[in-house]
Amino acid sequence: MDYRVRSLAGAASGASKIDWAGTEMPVLKGIAERFAHEQPLAGVRISACLHVTAETANLMLTLAAGGAQIRLCASNPLSTQDDVAAALVAEHGIPVFAAHGETTLEYYADIDAALAHHPHITLDDGADLIAVLHTKRSDLLADVVGGLEETTTGVVRLRAMARDGMLRYPVIAVNDAMSQHLFDNRYGTGQSTLDGIMRATNILLAGKVFTIAGYGWCGRGIAMRARGMGARVLVTEVDPLRALEAVMDGFEVLPMDHAAPLSDIIVTATGQRDVVTSEHFAIAKNGCILANAGHFNLEISLPALEALASGKSRPRPNLEEYVLRDGRRLRLLAQGRLVNLAAAEGHPAAVMDMSFANQALCVEFLGAKGPKLEARVHEVPIEIDQQVARLKLAAMAVGIDVLTADQVAYATSWISGT
Amino acid sequence: MDYRVRSLAGAASGASKIDWAGTEMPVLKGIAERFAHEQPLAGVRISACLHVTAETANLMLTLAAGGAQIRLCASNPLSTQDDVAAALVAEHGIPVFAAHGETTLEYYADIDAALAHHPHITLDDGADLIAVLHTKRSDLLADVVGGLEETTTGVVRLRAMARDGMLRYPVIAVNDAMSQHLFDNRYGTGQSTLDGIMRATNILLAGKVFTIAGYGWCGRGIAMRARGMGARVLVTEVDPLRALEAVMDGFEVLPMDHAAPLSDIIVTATGQRDVVTSEHFAIAKNGCILANAGHFNLEISLPALEALASGKSRPRPNLEEYVLRDGRRLRLLAQGRLVNLAAAEGHPAAVMDMSFANQALCVEFLGAKGPKLEARVHEVPIEIDQQVARLKLAAMAVGIDVLTADQVAYATSWISGT
Amino acid sequence: MDYRVRSLAGAASGASKIDWAGTEMPVLKGIAERFAHEQPLAGVRISACLHVTAETANLMLTLAAGGAQIRLCASNPLSTQDDVAAALVAEHGIPVFAAHGETTLEYYADIDAALAHHPHITLDDGADLIAVLHTKRSDLLADVVGGLEETTTGVVRLRAMARDGMLRYPVIAVNDAMSQHLFDNRYGTGQSTLDGIMRATNILLAGKVFTIAGYGWCGRGIAMRARGMGARVLVTEVDPLRALEAVMDGFEVLPMDHAAPLSDIIVTATGQRDVVTSEHFAIAKNGCILANAGHFNLEISLPALEALASGKSRPRPNLEEYVLRDGRRLRLLAQGRLVNLAAAEGHPAAVMDMSFANQALCVEFLGAKGPKLEARVHEVPIEIDQQVARLKLAAMAVGIDVLTADQVAYATSWISGT
Amino acid sequence: MDYRVRSLAGAASGASKIDWAGTEMPVLKGIAERFAHEQPLAGVRISACLHVTAETANLMLTLAAGGAQIRLCASNPLSTQDDVAAALVAEHGIPVFAAHGETTLEYYADIDAALAHHPHITLDDGADLIAVLHTKRSDLLADVVGGLEETTTGVVRLRAMARDGMLRYPVIAVNDAMSQHLFDNRYGTGQSTLDGIMRATNILLAGKVFTIAGYGWCGRGIAMRARGMGARVLVTEVDPLRALEAVMDGFEVLPMDHAAPLSDIIVTATGQRDVVTSEHFAIAKNGCILANAGHFNLEISLPALEALASGKSRPRPNLEEYVLRDGRRLRLLAQGRLVNLAAAEGHPAAVMDMSFANQALCVEFLGAKGPKLEARVHEVPIEIDQQVARLKLAAMAVGIDVLTADQVAYATSWISGT
């Protein structure tokens, strides 16, 4: 079997992590059981470019249970759990191409390897595999019936491609599913970003001035949790509707150059580049902590920070302290990479349970309907979204009401008055 | 001039209310100034079926400033402010057909009167005027180029009509605008529902068990505010995604027949009928307060409550106490009508400022583009939504960031990597 | 019978209000039943200077049920409910001396009248009756065995008197009871202040900048509720510990001269005088709303405001708009008097249930133990506090755990190790 | 020099941790600078039994800077940071007697060693050193002028000793300082308990049912933060006043045997023993997580849990999974020891900054006034408390208002009226 992992030695440890994560993923587990029985993916070849974690491993096992042939590479060099990669290879016979801390060269080589079996379906987290498929490996496009993309950042890229007529197969924006928004971005990233900051710094959040750049789903989640931990939360935005929502939610909204001198902590979650840059470093409060919760490590301008600094140390893991020429110290977490993945453990398993249940059902949908879909970005079918929510509520033993026949009739009728 | 109001005696008082509301509506005021200058509605005939309040009056004045000819009737017999109606007639020459507490017969006669000048554009709050236009007065349809509808309930009815091929002109669901959601439903209804309950009962909310039926925009707003006042909040739902969102927001979600015996207060906000009914009255806690925040007074089953009661008194305005045969007392607010309108003052002016700024710009849009639109329910153009938000932020002196040219390029490019 | 009320005409309406409030006061009702049976206050003469409301009436009836002879006057000229006063006189034979809107002269004459039967026990809300007793009517001191005072402001005055050796009988600071803090000041004032502001202005609180002067129990309650309604809350303080607590609770703490230009609303709750004064009016935001939640109407400097204003109008009840010479408008609620009493209905009955249950038990305690207590300010005995809480939990059907014998032993032992 | 640490090898790493913590402790640092100059502790011998962490090290350095001679042992075998202990010995010449994971025998031998220089002043965290001094080493009592105790649990023990006439020297309950409550118990334990649970489990807290046993300062802090992370929070209590406060704060209060079957997470913070025991394990929800935030590991009945279990595994560090005979799995964190210390890093440095500033000033106070104080539990002098708060506000650059001369006069006068 073809694969590239750091070592197979950690397979037992990885298998135990996969099992543990599995106990927190009851929705995906239920789907795996149905897939094993129905084999909806028999003969389907899948290339997946995702964070190689214990939760992702459970998605791979679910798809494999449904009959799929999978090759997996990493969507981020720093998020790979080497023992999990080893376990997938050694215990489950799934080819993985990923190693923690790999170089950019290795990263792209691994994407190539993941594509080698001529996929029918692609799974992406940041659209890197799709990008390779549309440029260097466009020879493989003929076999592809569809793909999934799970980040906002990736979806923006794909929409741009579709607008330019460059997207060659249908892609479902799994990230736009309601069940995904709720769990992955709002609640998942909200909690894990705070978790990452606490692990990296062990600072008390209560009473701190905590600025969040971006009030999208992730930003809202972080803002809600930062306030929940007792911080005074400021928000910066470029979109007037989001800015207004933040104001109405009771947050102080202001431009970054007003926020920087007030902030004890600044977290970026915009999907943009250069959100905190030299003009802000120049006026930031002494001791300010800088972290990024957006997909790429471009949101905090690292080159500008390096250029301004006269010294640098690492007093704690995942925390680098830059000393500026005027003596102020700025503290960068996780080198500006996703702080929840690098300094904490990424999304909790329960979050990924929802996301990956969603993805498993979307893969099944693409297997059946992909060939008939237009080559553009598609939303997750509402039925899949509701099915995931329904399975989750059942797993939590939460009961809800059911419309009566009269109520159904009322909801669909238009002849009734005051 | 043709009109029907209770009396013109209150015109001075009404004019003062209109002025005061106007000071809280800076966004609409800015639009009125532009309209007065540009006259975008010159010659346009408008029929409006809205709550006849001081805020609505400011919308009427804005449209009139733009050159429109307006006739206004009430969308709810209990929300009419008679002095405001008088002021519109006597001070501003706008024909109004509405009186507080009017009968159902008068209500429909007033709708007929509002249609008498053969409107080009209709404004609705619950789709009653549109319904009349599509049934009894379909002779007038030829002149109509478009309409606005501002309630969720109304939009559901219109979508049903469109689905059945019955909708004969394009209608913009102004309620679906982001700026409307935020202000009107979430923040507006959230606050004013609590306000109505406090005015009607003067009970302490902290520590009370407060059940909300429905976790749509209104329900979310009410839940957020009830928690903000210290209540323990329970939620009932029929939609699995909304139910799950409520769970993730930390609320207890359960069916109504589990919630009823626990609740000190039950508020409906579903858009459905018979949400709290005899099976729930039978098990409700002694002293339970029942209120409705949904559009129609069908959410709490009044006939069932009347049938179960052995006695009834009115210890406070807007509060009727029903004594059941087993001695338990249930307290119904505002006869099951919209508690925020009946027991408080409806939405604060700042809320209506956003809604009506939105509607004023949508009327302008319909005037220009209406004839070219399909006869279905349309969303508010995003540009209008953003323009309203931008004007509001400016009025609040809140600054936001602006994308740099590099950032704009980044957001629209798809060729970039990890 | 001796009394002075506006008119006896409203007695029936007052009686109905008293009954309704009684249904919300189950704890006091339980005590009244025991009192009626045990007659612990037989022959005890009581003079009470309290807000004359339906809830106070229930306290009076409870004390009367216990055998006491009572005379009641008002602790604030604006809080008297004339129909309740009438009902106490006409239906229950309790002498009341109070009329809504009475003059200062009448106010003090009524205090004199309430003292005319030579009280054994005094009840105060602001220490005015005690002050009269210690100055003009010191001839009556010989009969008095003790008193109650229920405001923070009053307790401060009494402690000053005690410190100067001027206090002549023991006074229980009922306000310092835990059950009182929680309900009366934190939850009661918190909610009713917001309620008063909403009724007086009907403004949307979400997104507003809301400054609270003072972070004592009342200030904390108001801050918590203002945030709960979506406002951005600022706090001013003079005490470093309270200031720090506000910071740690996530609020922005700053001096009033920094807060004034930022604030849409300023509420004082300090117990001090001249907290918002000419230097702040000079820089306040146009449209700023000023309200007071502290005992006396000295917190906002009215003479300074009158002096600065070039005009004044009253666009809504309880709201006066001052136009300053530079065109800015400042809006004063309830003439700077307690906004929750003047513009809303004061504390909800459930709040007063706790406070008055506490006071009823303290009166019983003074009747039994008063003669043996030192002439100083006393705390409420913890047993009374706990008894009130226990009765309240029972009324709410909330169960709690009970220590096992082993746990009691553990809690009182000091010989145990790591 | 006498000492007992695991090894001196980690001294450099420990010194770096001490420095880093020092940058987060500006209040203590300011006091150290004054102490170095004034030498208020010259010749004072101190025995300290505290968690041996980087923050404690900064307190030791502050006291040493003031001239004190110190011996330090551990107050908990699991909280010792061996490298910090090494650094204190090797870099700062302070005798430490502590090693991570030491046996009970070693633990008590270390306390003996810490007492060997015949202390004048003792510092305790759980009253173990004081207990030894009052039993086995009562020969040393003659030299002692006073002590400090910083846990609620320890203070309860000391009050019991004082009540029995057994306490032989004055002890200041530093834990009862307002600045300590706020930071150490409410905000510190609140955050670090959540942090410990997240690190130990990586579960998503939003939507989970989270039960807290005990609504004291720690319990309140945990409840506030658990809600802030989106959990549905239940509270159990034995004290009616605290139970009522929890109800009024919007939490569901119920007995533990009702809470256990509903809970995804149960955290104890009571200071009691056997709070969660076999009757609760018998009905707990499958997968329930059990953690303790109280001082001793007696709150969850471990022997009962061991007795009920048929198997046990450790899928993550600090998490042991017990399999019960009926197949349910219960997950115990950190062996029932303080979860914030064992699974996270204990209190953030900023918390300890306040606590230790408080303690440093109390040691100075005891040095000067100890011989004149009664042998009982004393409160922290309010002046010390305010001084700490004032220093902290200054360090955070937060400004507050100052009373005018007129206001000071008003606050202390009692002759003023309505």
| A247-279 pLDDT per residue, tens | 999 999 999 999 999 999 999 999 899 999 999
Q: What is the pLDDT of residue C414?
A: 53
- Three-class secondary structure of residue B39 per DSSP: coil
Please compute the mean of the pLDDT values over residues C317-342 and round it to a whole number: 95
Which of the pair, C144 or D346, is modelled with greater confidence?
C144
Nearest to B233 by CA among B279, B258, B201, B265: B265
What would the mean pLDDT of B132-158 be, rounded to a whole number? 93
Is residue A182's pLDDT more than 90?
Answer: no
Please check whether residue A289 touches C, CB under 8 A.
no
Nearest CA in chain A to B395: A244
Q: Are residues C154 and C32 in the same domain?
A: yes
- Give C332's strand partners: C290, C320
Within the 48-107 window of chain B, which residues sit less than 8 Å (CB to CB) from chain A?
75-77, 104, 107
Q: How far is B183 from chain A (nearest CA, A)?
A: 8
- Single out the residue of B175, B225, B217 nearest to residue B196, CA to CA: B225
Res B416 pLDDT > 70 = no
Within an 8 Å CB–CB cutoff, is residue A399 touching chain B?
Answer: yes
Mean pLDDT value across residues C309-335? 95
D239 and D196 part of one domain: yes
Q: Domain for residue D212, yes or no?
A: yes
Residue B410 in domain: no
pLDDT at B185 over 90: no
Q: Is A408 contained in some domain? A: no
Is C232 within 8 Å of A251 when comparing Cβ atoms? yes
Is A303 part of the contact surface with chain C (CB cutoff 8 Å)? no
**Contact A230/D225, CB-based, under 8 Å?**
yes
Contact of D400 with chain B, judged by CB distance below 8 Å, is answered with: no
Across the interface, whether the CB atoms of B191 and C205 are under 8 A apart is answered: yes
Q: Indicate if A209 and A261 belong to the same structural domain.
A: yes
| Chain A partners (3+ C-beta pairs within 8 A) | B, C, D
Residue of B nearest to C344 (CA): B199
pLDDT of amino acid B182: 73
Instruction: Give the pLDDT of residue B88.
Output: 98
Asked if C230 and C258 sit in the same domain, the reply is yes
Average the pLDDT over B188-197 and give the result: 95
Strand bridging mode B171-173 / B96-97? unpaired
Is the model more confident about A87 or about A414?
A: A87
Instruction: Name the residue in chain A with its Cα closest to that of C206.
Output: A248
Chain B residue with the nearest C-alpha to that of A350: B248
Q: Are residues D220 and D99 in the same domain?
A: no
Q: Which amino acid is at B177?
A: A
Concatenated DSSP letters of C147-185: EEE--HHHHHHHHHHHHTT---S-EEEGGGSHHHIIIII
Contact D57, D18 (CB under 8 A): yes
Q: Is the pLDDT of residue C183 over 90?
A: no
Distances (CA, A) of A206 to C220, C243, C252, D224, D358: 16, 14, 12, 11, 19
Please report whether residue C122 resides in a domain. Answer: yes
Q: CA D364 to CA D375: how far, in whole Å?
A: 18
Spans of chain D below 50 pLDDT: 415-418
**Is position B418 within any domain?**
no
For testing the chain C interface, which of D151, D380, D400 should be mutated: the one with the most C CBs within 10 Å?
Answer: D400
From residue D77, give the alpha-carbon distance in Å to each of B404, D50, D196, D318.
56, 10, 18, 15
Q: What integer pLDDT is reported at residue A370 of this predicted model? A: 84
Model pLDDT for residues C22-64, shown as the tens digit of each residue: 988 999 999 999 999 999 999 999 999 999 999 999 999 999 9
- B64 and B70 Cβ atoms separated by less than 8 Å: yes
Question: Does A353 lie in the same domain as A338?
Answer: no
Q: What is the pLDDT of residue B414?
A: 53
Statement: residue C417 has pLDDT above 50: no
Helix (H/G/I), strand (E/B), else coil: A80: coil
Domain total of chain A: 2
The answer to whether C33 and C57 are in contact (CB under 8 A) is no
Residue A253 sits in a domain whose CATH number is: 3.40.50.720
Number of neighbouring beta carbons within 10 Å of residue A411: 17
> Is the domain of C147 the same as that of C274?
no
Tell whether the model's pLDDT for residue A414 goes beyond 60. Answer: no
Confidence of residue A323 (pLDDT cuts 50, 70, 90): very high
Taking contacts as CB-CB distances below 8 angstroms, the residues of chain B near D227 are 250
**Would A54 be classed as within a structural domain?**
yes
Number of other residues whose CB lies within 10 A of the CB of residue A34: 14
What residues contact A309, with CB distance under 8 A and at least 6 apart? A322, A323, A324, A330
D241 near C CB under 8 A = yes
The average pLDDT across A348-363 equals: 92
ipTM of the complex: 0.87
Residues B161 and B295 in one domain: no
Q: Does D20 contact A204 at a Cβ distance shorter than 8 Å?
A: no
Q: Helix-strand-coil percent breakdown of chain A, rounded to 5?
A: 50, 15, 35
Query: Which of D182, D191, D321, D345 is the best mutation test for A, with the most CBs of A within 10 A?
Result: D191
pLDDT bucket at C151, cuts 50 / 70 / 90:
confident
Whether residue C15 is predicted with pLDDT greater than 70 in this model: the reply is yes
Beta bridge partners of A212: A235, A267
Chain C contact present for D128, CB below 8 A: yes
Judgement on whether residues C245 and C322 belong to the same structural domain of the protein: yes
pLDDT at position A417 over 50: no
Among B192, B194, B198, B227, which would you mutate to test the C interface (most chain C Cβ atoms within 10 Å of its Cβ)? B198
How far is it, in rounded angstroms, from Cα B369 to Cα B145? 9
Q: Is residue B388 part of a domain?
A: yes
For an interface test with A, the pick among C209, C210, C247, C264 (most A C-beta atoms closer than 10 Å) comes out as: C247
The CB-side HSE value for C205 (13 A sphere, CA atoms) comes to 33
Q: Which of C227, C232, C247 sits opposite A252 (nearest CB)?
A: C232
Give the minimum alpha-carbon distance from B317 to chain A in angstroms, rounded to a whole number: 22
Question: What does the pLDDT read at residue C87?
Answer: 98
In a domain, B135, yes or no: yes
Same-domain status, D150 and D218? no
Predicted local confidence at residue D417, as pLDDT: 42
Q: Which of C58, C41, C92, C7 is nearest to C347 (CA)?
A: C58
- Residue D73's DSSP bridge partners are D49, D97
**Token pair belonging to B251:** 């609320």
Query: DSSP letter string over C358-410?
Result: HHHHHHHHHHHHGGGS-SSEEPPPHHHHHHHHHHHHHHTT-------HHHHHH
Same domain for D16 and D148?
A: yes
- Residues from chain A that touch B238, judged by Cβ atoms under 8 A, are 400-403
CATH of the domain at C382: 3.40.50.1480
User: Is the sign of the CA dihedral D22, D25, D26, D30 positive or negative?
Assistant: negative
Tell which wins on pLDDT, A77 or C261: C261
**Separation CA C398–CA D253 (nearest Å):** 7
**Is pLDDT at C389 greater than 80 in this prediction?**
yes
- pLDDT of res. B331: 97
Q: Tell me which chain A residue has its CA closest to the CA of residue D341.
A: A202
Q: What is the DSSP letter of B176?
A: G
Nearest CB partner across the interface for C248, out of A207, A227, A247:
A207
Residues in chain B: 418
Contact A230 C248 (CB under 8 A): yes
Residues A37 and A130 in one domain: yes
Per DSSP bridges, beta strands B209-213 and B265-268 are: parallel
Q: Other CB atoms closer than 10 Å to residue A166's CB: what's the count?
A: 14
Beta bridge partners of D268: D213, D292
Residue in C104, C248, C418 closest to D76 by CB: C418
C-beta atoms of B230 and D252 within 8 A: no
**Partner residue opposite D398 with nearest CB, options C160, C183, C253:** C253
Interchain CB contact of A252 with C (< 8 Å):
yes
Judge whether B112 and B132 are in contact, CB under 8 Å. Answer: yes
Distance of CA C373 to the CA centre of its chain: 25
Whether A251 and chain C come into contact, CB under 8 Å, resolves to: yes
Chains that touch C (3 or more CB pairs under 8 A): A, B, D
Q: Where are the alpha helices (DSSP H) in A54-213?
A: 54-65, 82-90, 104-115, 128-134, 152-163, 178-180, 190-201
Q: Which residues, including other chains, have CB under 8 Å from residue C213's CB and lie 6 or more apart?
A: C219, C235, C236, C237, C256, C266, C267, C268, C269, C270, C275, C276, C299
Is B296 an 8 Å CB contact of chain A? yes
B interface mutation test: which of C20, C204, C339 has the most B CBs within 10 A?
C204
pLDDT one-digit tens code per residue, D97-113 = 999 999 999 999 999 99
Contact C146, C354 (CB under 8 A): no
Residue A315 to residue A321: CA distance in whole angstroms = 7
- The domain of C170 spans 11-180+349-395
**Per-residue pLDDT for C257 more than 50?**
yes
Note whether A415 contacts B: Cβ–Cβ < 8 A: yes
Examine the pLDDT at A416 and tell me if it is beyond 50: no
pTM for the full predicted model: 0.90
Amino acid residing at D134: H
Q: Is A345 on the interface with D (CB under 8 A)?
A: yes
| Average per-residue pLDDT for chain B | 93
Task: Provide mean pLDDT across the span B370-393.
Answer: 94
What integer is the mean pLDDT of A183-212? 93
